Structure 1
Amino acid sequence: MTVVAFSIGSFGDIIAVLQLAWDIRKSLSEASEYSDEINALIGDIDSFTHVLQTTKERLTNATNVPPSLHRGLSHALKNCRVVLERVQNKIRQHRRDNDGKYGARVYKALWAVCAWNVLGGKADVEALKRRLAEQLAVIDTLLSVLNSSALEAIDRRAQADGLVLTRILACVESFPSLIKYDVTDVPFRFFNAEGEALQPFRNLAWPVRCLSILSRPSRDNPFCSTSKYSSRR
């Protein structure tokens, strides 16, 4: 199975470790029928790959991941890769030593019986699980830092948006005070497209087009209506 090369800032390291874990799981599945220990180890591998897949999804949805966090994840995943490669090498070496000697069918039966011993027995398997668990703890810590940074960014954005909304509200609240009678105390009026007078600040249907004239009446203003210029209407 082809292993994707590691590269900081990409998901190649996660995919490489997942491929190794799935390859080992496939080999162990051939011996799971005869060993409860192998079945338990397969369950641990499934949990391990689930965590890595979740990590990949969280990084895919993350934005502005710090380079230091990428380096930390890459280091932890490289450690996982080293551990899994040792297991894979044991399995491959055992296959090379016995597959050609006994044939595929006989080797399959042999592997089912001795897989646990090939892995090194309880002591080696427990050490394997412990090292992987340590690296998963590191990955979980780094993801917690990423989540904390994301929450801080959201909080900063919310505060900035709050300031903008406060300024908009202040402008809206100050707007009515600007609409008032002019220095001659002649009231202004609103008119719709048909020339009908409307009261200011009343609920209007959206299609209504209001034409507001915020200046004193004059003979050049066809929309203003006062007793003085009523003859123009």
Structure 2
Amino acid sequence: MQGIDLGRFIVGIIGNILSGLLFVSPVPIFSRICNNKSTEEFPPYPYLAGVMNCMLWIFYGLPYVHPDSTLLLTIYSFGLFLEITYLSVFFIYSSKNKYRWIIFICLFVELVVLGVIVAFTILSIHTYEKRSMFVGIVCNIFGIIMYASPLSNLFNVIKTKSAEFMPFWLIVAGFANGITWFTYAFLKTVDLYIAVGNGIGLLFCLIQPLVFACYTFKPNSSAAASEDAVSSNS
């Protein structure tokens, strides 16, 4: 195996590992939810986006669409299992009925959309190359949505001036996953499907740690006020 091929292979393996860590990263959040028996202010949107993303990549990895994609099928099947588990926990402990309805309606819509995509691919596209291209583009679109989904809580973060309910480890894992696959896309030959989806996703991932840092490491206003009082008295 030549140097560039070996590098691409190693980066691909790292990408699969990081994809697995991305799926596992919400575990601390759901451990907290189970312990407190409440979803508090955590939103369900990242996990709804994750379910759709996993289902599409599983379809993309099937032999009918893109042969020889065993690793893809394995990692996204694992991810789908975890995302459904997260949503089940969220559904059980949600204190807001609106979130339960949102989960139900979104999952129904996602299954309908997936059914339409599968039916169109099977009935209307008759070559591996065209099937891979069509499903790959759709996967990229929903992959970008998945990367952007942690920003769904941005308004609440700005309103409360607290990043407590931003999924920190999900942000970190998403950023590491995006930069690894974006790098992978430019090794040996340029893979536009991987490059575009992960490149745009990476931009969203850059915004999230900035927001998190802004509201996590901000000066303590009460402490600042105390210091001002002390200095004025002196």
Q: Which has the higher contact order (CA 8 A, sep 6+)?
A: 2
Same fold, TM exceeding 0.5? Answer: no
Normalized against structure 1, the TM-score is what? Answer: 0.30
Q: Which is higher, the Rg of structure 1 or of structure 2? A: 1
